[in-house]
Structure formats: C-alpha cells, structure tokens
Structure 1
Amino acid sequence: ENEIRGVTGVERISSVSQENSGVVTVEVIKGYDTDDVLIDVQNAVDRIPTLPEGMEPVRTFTVENVRPAVSFALSGEDVDLRALKAIARRVEDDLRAIEGISKVELQGLPEEEIEIAFREEDLRAQGITFAQAALRVRTANIDITGGKVRTEAEELSIRARNKHDRAHELRDIVLKATPDGRFVRLGDVADLRDRWADDPTRNYLNGAPAVVVAVSSTVSEDILFIAEETVAYMERFNERGEAVHADLISDATIALRQRIDMLATNGVQGFLLVVLFLAMFLNIRLAFWVALSIPVAFAGMFVLANFFGITINVMSLFGMIIVVGILVDDGIVIAESIYQEHEKGASPVRAAVDGTMNVLPAVISAVFTTVAAFST
C-alpha cells in the first residue's frame, strides 16, 4: 500500500487480508486512463525490495463493473461431480467464444485436492521426518517460470512444469535413496487420495449436484444481446441429449424487456389518443402536430443519450415512461391555448407564438416540479 500511494490517478486504496492471501483494491480517479494506472501500479509493486519467502508472484489486473445478465444450472441425475466439472468448463469456454460475451463465472464448483496422510510408523522406520517428506513433495510438484532466452530472432520463455493433478501421479515421488540403492517413495510411507475441498456453498438442483453458470455484462456490452445468445446456447445444449441438462435460473433482462414493451405501448396509445381527442374537439391538423411531438422528443432523447453515454436500462426506461405522460399532457395544454388564440382571430403563426407563451411558464414549472420530485 505504501508503494502504491504515490501513483498518479489513484483515488482510494483498500485492502483485505486473510490466511494465505491478501487483496489490495485501487480505485482510479474518474478521467484517468485505467490501463496507464495499472502499469504504474505494477511498476510500484515491482519496486518492492523484499517479499515473504515462498510467496507466489503478485498478480495485478483490472476489475470492471459488471451486472448480472443470465444464470443457469447444469445438473444431471447420474453424473458425478468430476464429469459435471468437465462439462461446465466446456460450457464456459463455449460461452466465452461468443463475440460480445466476456464475463462467465462458474459457481458452486469446489476445488479438487490431493490428500496425503503420512503413516508415522513408516516414516520413522525409513528415517524420514515429516518436514523432510513435506519439503520433498513440495519441491517435486512445481510449476514456475525459469526466465527467458533471447536471440536475435526471438525471445523464448522457460517454464519448469512438474505439476501433478491426481493422487496416483504423486505416489512415485522419491523421498530418499537408501545406501543399498533402493528408493523410498511417497506411496511407501503415505496414503494418497483425490478429494473435493470442503465447500459449504455447493449447489443442488432437484437433489442432484449442480453448477451455476453466471453470465454478466460490462458497461460497454449489450445485456439484451448477451441474454439472447446465452438462452440460444442453452437450447442448443439441451438439444444434444446429454446426461447434463441446462435449466434457466434467472434472467435480468426480463424486467428490461417489460419496460421496453410498456414504453412502446404507452407511446403508441398516447399518440392515438392525442390524435383522436384533439381531432374531435379541436382540429385534425393541430392534433397531428401535437401527437408528432412524442416520436420527435424520443428521437432527440436517443441522440442526446448516445452523446452523453447514457445506456438503456430499467431506470432510464422508467424515466421515458414518465415523460410520455408529460409530453401528452403538456402537448394538449399548449394545443388548446393555441386553438383559443386562433379562434380570437390571430393568424396561425401568431396564434402558435402567443398560445405557447401564455402557458409556457406553467408548463416549465410543471416539468421542473416532476424533475425535482424524482431527483430527491
């Protein structure tokens, strides 16, 4: 934290520490380039002279604001957790391969572990201490970088990978060589087995183990497109007839689609009602121009929304629905005032100007009253 405090563009630093890990969160001041700040933070971390021995390399990355889009569960009655995990990983890769989808998370999937239970009497008989055996296992089961080799034509990365993922792969690790040339292996002094980590957040669907696939969208991604593509993928997945079935759990776009349908319905109804009633009581030309204010106002709103980076979401759609009523009410008030001026003998242009100016203060006051009510 002390090294990061001097980085330009950092607004706030917070940290959370727990056993075997720690997370430092850096919030960037609005207007600063996140990628530039990320590089500066990485350089600041690299300047730290010493870190605890045995500590894994520090990972520095950006975290975007995301919003849930769609989540579904993968489950099967006669499918074990290992097979379910493999299928879930494949589904995750398939979804990430769809252009426009970048945030996919698997939930309720415990980590796999290898349990090593040393037999004390066998260790003692072979003259091996527990610390020696543990160190030998740790050094024989590694996956680390070994530097780089540079040539005139290319740069090659060297990596030492001797990572074992199954218990039977560890049984032959040599712990000690005896004077008579015999090797004492891990399987000679310990019992090994594959197991799942204890995780209280496992998921079940209808009594069967399940993995939840949560698909989210970033601020720059289209949540409606993501939901459509995810649901379409689920349908294709279920058509394969595999033992695992995908069941929809939640769809955050349902409320958004309902708001869009409501907005379209209210807009069409408002347009027709304005034309109908103003044509009945005033005249058809005036009714048409007042009704035209609804699509014109929304067209202007979409242009400005795109300019200011305002997205279509539940809140913005709610505001649009409120505005439909305001447009209809204020349009009728102004149209009636113009009609009265025209009836008094004023020319159409003069009637439009005078009629609008007569009620303009009241209309503006009513609009600002509504704005004030929803902004507090």
Structure 2
Amino acid sequence: MRKVIAYFIKHSVAVNVIVVGFVIFGIFGMLSLKSSFFPLTDSKIININATYPGASPQEIEEGVVLKIEDNLKGIEGIDRVTSASRENSGSITVEILKGYNIDFMLLEVKNAVDRVSSFPVGMEPLVVSKQEQSRPTISFALSGENVPLYTLKQLARDIENDLRGIDGISQIAISGYPNEEIEIAVNENTLLGYDISFEEISNAVASSNILTTGGNIKTDREEYLIRANSRSYYGNELSYIPVKTLADGTSVLLKDVAIIRDRFSETPNATYYDNKLAVNITVTSTNSEDLIDAADKVKAYIEDYNQRFTNVQLDVVRDLSVTLNQRTALLTENAVVGMLLVLIFLSIFLNTRLAFWVAFGLPIAFLGMFIFAGQFDVTINVLSLFGMIIVIGILVDDGIVIAENIYQHYEDGKSPVQAAIDGTMEVIPPILSAIITTLLAFSTFLFLEGRIGDIFGEVSVIVILTLLVSLVEALIILPAHLAHSKALQPKNNQPKKGIARVFQKMRIVNDYGDKAMNWMRDKLYAPVLRFSLANKFFTFALFIAALILTFGSMSGGIIKTAFFPRISSDQVSINLSMPNGTSEFITDS
C-alpha cells in the first residue's frame, strides 16, 4: 500500500487523470440514471383470473379455485398462494420466492393450470398473467363549467390518445365516471299490441349483436374465412334489429317497441374538482420509464391544452415529481452547506488550502458513485436521495483525519512528499476500521426480505458505493494534492495580492483557532480523560447505567417505537359514511 500511495504522490498527473475520469464518467452516469418515486422492483406476483357468468362464490371456489390450487402445490419457487371467490368470478394470486425468474415461473403456473381437465361448462377462458410493476407519476382533472359528463369522457379519451403518442408515457387510466351501458326501455303496451314477449326481444338482441367466426371455405386458388361481425357499441346501432315478422311480411324493429339510448350505469360514481364535474386522468410509469421526464412532458401538454381550450381545462391534482425534485434540491443544499462548513472550520483550526482539498473530496465521491450506481439498477428516488443525504456527513471524516495528520508530519520537519506518505500510512488502520464498520452496518439492509429489503437495500448500495469511492479519494487523490499544495510550503510573510492575500490573512485566524483548540484540549478534554482513566470502574458504570435507562425508557413507553415515523401530510381527507340505502343525491348534497 505504501508503494501505491508513494507512486501517485510522486506522479500527480496520474491523479489528475483519475479525477478527470471521475468527473466525465460520473456526469454521464448521473444523467443516465432514471428517476422514480420509490426504488424499482421486479414483479413477484402472478395473477390467475376466472370468469364464470351466473356462478355463486361457492361454485367458483369448488369448481375452479380449489382445482387450480391443488395443481400449484409442490411447484418449486412459489412462496404463497391466496385466492378470492366472488359471484361470477374468482382470482388467485401466486407470490414468487426471491431469486426465481418471474417469466419461468409464469410458464410453470400456466402448465399447472392447463393440467386441470374438468373446468365447469360455460366458464370463460382463464387469464394467467404476471403483475406488471407501475407507479403513479402525475394525476390531473379535466373539468369545465356546465360540461356534461359524456362530453368530458370523450375529451378524456382524446387526451389519452394524445398522451400515448408521447415517448416515455404508456400507462394511462381514466376514472371518475360510472360504467357505460346501452339502455333498452321496452313499452309494455306496445309489446302486447304486437304480441311480443320480453324473451323474444332478449333473444333478438343476443342473436343479432355478435362477433364470431364460422369456419372457412377452401378453393383451388384461395381460402376464405367466414366471419360474422355484427357487434354494436352504441344504442342507435341497435335500432334496426328485427324483433318479429308479422303475417303481412312487415318486420317489427327494436326501435318500434323500445326506447334505446346510451347512458351511464346507475352506480353513484362521480368526481368533482372545484365544485365542477370532472374526470380524473392518472399517468403511471413502468420500470423502463422515467418519472420526472414523464411528468414534465405531461405538464407541458397540460399547459398547451389549457391555452387551446377555454370551456374545459386541465388541473394537476397530484404530482410526485415535485417531491422528488424537492429531495434533490435538499441534497444539493446539504452538499453545498457541508462543503462550506468544512472550508470554514478547517480554515479556522487548520489551513485554508487543506480545507479546500478536503471539501474537494465530496463531489468526487458522489461522481464516482454515479459511475457504478447504474450497474446495481439504482434510480434517483426518495430512498436513494435519502442515502446520499446520510452519507454526506460521513464522507469528510477520513479526509479531515488524513489532511491533519499530513500537516502534522510536515510541521515536524519532513518534506511535503514524505509528510504525505508517512501521514497517510499512519492513519490507514483506523480509517479502514471506521469505513468497514460503517459498511457492515449498512450492508444489513441487503439481507432483509420482501418489500422492505427492496426499498432500503438501495440506501445501502448508495452508502456503500459512495464510501468505497471516498476511501480511494482519501488514500490516493487527497495525499497527492496535499503533497503538491502550497499548504505544505514554508510560510512567506511578504505582502501578497489577490487570493494569496486572503490566505495570508487566514493565517492570523489559524493562530487564534490553534490557541482555542489547545485550550480545549488542555483545560477541558485532558482533565476528563485523566479522571476517566483513574476511575475506570466508575466511568464504565456510568455508561452501563445510561444503557439500562435507555432500555427501561423504551420498555416503559417513555421512548415510543414505531415502524415508520409519523409525519404531517400535505392533504386532508374526509370520509362520509351514510346509512345503507341512502340516495346518492342526499349524500352529494
């Protein structure tokens, strides 16, 4: 290790090349990182959905769910299977163990489902799919003064088509209105007049509104596919369905005996924004999409849309990129404040040039981390930014210890190069011990199972990578810079100009700072240390008592515990519960 440190100290050009490499590749690595609100995780869920019209929950359970669950037993890689049976449908959720390939397990589950040979007659084909991971990005409301819900829904569909055409946006959901349906209101007197029953109308609609294949016809030259495409999606398309043919050959059409109209279901589902009827549009991001980029594109679209239309407008309801940008700003602020504090305090007690090179290690450590972060699927999210904020306070410790020790060796009369080598070698054992203990403490997050491990594991990766890069910076880059710095040169009391004059004036501050540090060392720390060494049992007992008080406070409830801290929200939610059967108009009023 001594030869490596000595080589880089004597060949400062090599150190500068390393620094330039960290800067260039670090910037590229930082720009290439995607952003998300929480760390990205691979899907571990496989869903099996069954639809059996007219079946009770018990029939779904006995005829479908239990048969599939029996075939899933014994498949290696499955952690847990849960199911729910409802009227007309059922669902099975399969959770995969960590370390197993989700695509391979999807094939295994499909094979297990296919081995069931006796599903009920009339059941629709089963749907087996893996649950895709997506996270909310931005949500906005479409509203207008006295604009009907049907018009808002059509406009929302147009907005959805526009957003899907933007690169980086694929997942869009529209909500805030009931399901659409076609209402056929039959006139009973008219039915009696034509001698038509309700069943005849139902059969006429069912037999006419179809989309199916009827085989094919092969000839010597071509093959024709027979297909009946008569499915209708709007009420006016059903008006001319023949219901009955009279004796004189006249056809009774559906519009002759019923009023047909498109309408929303009677489910009381509505969304309001600023007391105006609205439709909510939510954009979510997949693992391959960037949250901040998608949110910026949506906000640009919203601004352009509001400029083009005056009767309706789009308003952002929730934007997760705001929180992410705030965390990034907080990180930048903390980094700047950290470097300034290092510069100020080291300039007071040590040397201004030494303080500069110690603070220089902060951005180098982060840029080095960005080079490798992408290889561990790290994204810019609230947890990774939290890890960066944590590590800021740890980074400068090693640099301060090394810089101070090098300066001490120089003051003892050694040459700058020799002082840099000896000063660094002397503190390598305690610095390595401090780094290793910190790495071990944060590495425990990597062994946590489930969602908690996926989330906080990214904090560990950030802290570990940054500390490892800072170790390289502190042991190789920092000593080389200090060895060739003017901080390790004989003091020249000749009057200076410009920045050199500032450094000269700071020496006066250094003298006062040195006197203050010596006073605290001799008058405060030394007496306490002597007393502690002379009364070892008493000193040890004080710390044991403090530990017992801590455990007692936690057990007695004085120090409360919680899995996550309680923080105040920026939203207020009000839930109104009314008696069953209350009219939607009363609830709304």
TM-score tier (shorter):
0.7 to 0.9
Distance 2:314 2:217 in 1: 47
Q: C-alpha deviations, 1:214-256, integer Å up to 9, x for none?
A: 0111122110101110101101111112421011111101111
State yes or no: 1:78 paired with 2:146.
Answer: yes
Aligned residue runs from structure 1 range 37-56, under 5 A: 37-38=105-106, 49=117, 55-56=123-124
Quote the offset at 1:138 in angstroms.
1.5
Quote the offset at 1:68 in angstroms.
0.9
Q: C-alpha deviations, 1:3-44, integer Å up to 9, x for none?
A: 572777655443334333434444445555545555665566
Instruction: Please state whether the residue corresponding to 1:88 is helix, strand or coil.
Output: helix
Q: C-alpha deviations, 1:245-269, integer Å up to 9, x for none?
A: 0111111011110111111122123
Q: C-alpha deviations, 1:183-217, integer Å up to 9, x for none?
A: 23223333333221123331111222111110111
Distance 2:83 2:165 in 1: 33
Indicate the residue corresponding to 2:180 in structure 1: 112
Aligned residue runs from structure 1 range 95-244, under 5 A: 95-145=163-213, 159-244=227-312
Q: Which protein is bigger by CA-based radius of gyration? A: 2
Query: Do the aligned partners of 1:338 and 1:354 also contact (CA within 8 Å) in 2?
Result: no
- Go from structure 1 to structure 2 and tell me whether the alpha carbon gap of 1:107 and 1:145 turns closer, same or farther (over 3 Å shift): farther
- 1:289 paired residue among 357, 361, 382: 357
Instruction: Please state whether the residue corresponding to 2:278 is helix, strand or coil.
Output: strand
Indicate the residue corresponding to 1:263 in structure 2: 331
State yes or no: 1:351 paired with 2:423.
Answer: yes
- 1:308 paired residue among 365, 376, 398: 376
Q: C-alpha deviations, 1:106-131, integer Å up to 9, x for none?
A: 11132221112333444344343322
Q: For residue 134 of structure 1, what is the amino acid of its counterpart?
A: S
- Go from structure 1 to structure 2 and tell me whether the alpha carbon gap of 1:294 and 1:22 turns closer, same or farther (over 3 Å shift): same
Distance 2:312 2:221 in 1: 49
Greater share of helix: 2
Quote the offset at 1:67 in angstroms.
1.2
Query: Do the aligned partners of 1:74 and 1:210 also contact (CA within 8 Å) in 2?
Result: yes
Distance 2:444 2:197 in 1: 75
Quote the offset at 1:273 in angstroms.
2.9
Quote the offset at 1:272 in angstroms.
3.2
Instruction: Please state whether the residue corresponding to 2:248 is helix, strand or coil.
Output: coil
Question: Under a length normalisation based on structure 1, what TM-score does the superposition of the two structures give?
Answer: 0.85
Distance 2:79 2:230 in 1: 42
Indicate the residue corresponding to 1:68 in structure 2: 136
Query: Do the aligned partners of 1:14 and 1:25 also contact (CA within 8 Å) in 2?
Result: yes
Question: Under a length normalisation based on structure 2, what TM-score does the superposition of the two structures give?
Answer: 0.56
Report sequence identity in percent.
46
Q: For residue 357 of structure 1, what is the amino acid of its counterpart?
A: P
- Go from structure 1 to structure 2 and tell me whether the alpha carbon gap of 1:324 and 1:149 turns closer, same or farther (over 3 Å shift): farther
- 2:316 paired residue among 248, 264, 268: 248
Q: 121-130 or 358-367: which moved more?
A: 358-367
- Go from structure 1 to structure 2 and tell me whether the alpha carbon gap of 1:359 and 1:180 turns closer, same or farther (over 3 Å shift): closer
Indicate the residue corresponding to 2:72 in structure 1: 5
Instruction: Please state whether the residue corresponding to 2:137 is helix, strand or coil.
Output: strand
- 2:158 paired residue among 60, 76, 90: 90
Greater share of strand: 1
Q: C-alpha deviations, 1:158-195, integer Å up to 9, x for none?
A: 65332223333323211222233222322333333322
Q: 90-99 or 162-171: which moved more?
A: 162-171
Q: For residue 82 of structure 1, what is the amino acid of its counterpart?
A: Y
State yes or no: 1:298 paired with 2:370.
Answer: no
Q: 114-123 or 5-14: which moved more?
A: 5-14
Q: CA RMSD in A?
A: 3.5
Distance 1:150 1:257 in 2: 64
Q: 66-75 or 304-313: which moved more?
A: 304-313
Q: 336-345 or 205-214: which moved more?
A: 336-345
- Go from structure 1 to structure 2 and tell me whether the alpha carbon gap of 1:57 and 1:77 turns closer, same or farther (over 3 Å shift): farther
Distance 1:372 1:31 in 2: 18
Q: C-alpha deviations, 1:45-102, integer Å up to 9, x for none?
A: 5666565555555444443111111111111113222221111001101111111111
Query: Do the aligned partners of 1:113 and 1:194 also contact (CA within 8 Å) in 2?
Result: yes
Query: Do the aligned partners of 2:72 and 2:112 also contact (CA within 8 Å) in 1?
Result: no
Q: For residue 206 of structure 2, what is the amino acid of its counterpart?
A: R
Query: Do the aligned partners of 1:340 and 1:355 also contact (CA within 8 Å) in 2?
Result: no
Query: Do the aligned partners of 2:187 and 2:258 also contact (CA within 8 Å) in 1?
Result: yes
Indicate the residue corresponding to 2:528 in structure 1: none
Q: For residue 425 of structure 2, what is the amino acid of its counterpart?
A: V
Q: For residue 378 of structure 2, what is the amino acid of its counterpart?
A: I
Q: 51-60 or 282-291: which moved more?
A: 51-60
Unaligned runs of 5+ in 2: 1-64, 446-455, 461-562, 564-589
Query: Do the aligned partners of 2:402 and 2:423 also contact (CA within 8 Å) in 1?
Result: no
Instruction: Please state whether the residue corresponding to 1:318 is helix, strand or coil.
Output: helix
Quote the offset at 1:336 in angstroms.
3.0
Alignment: residue pair count: 376
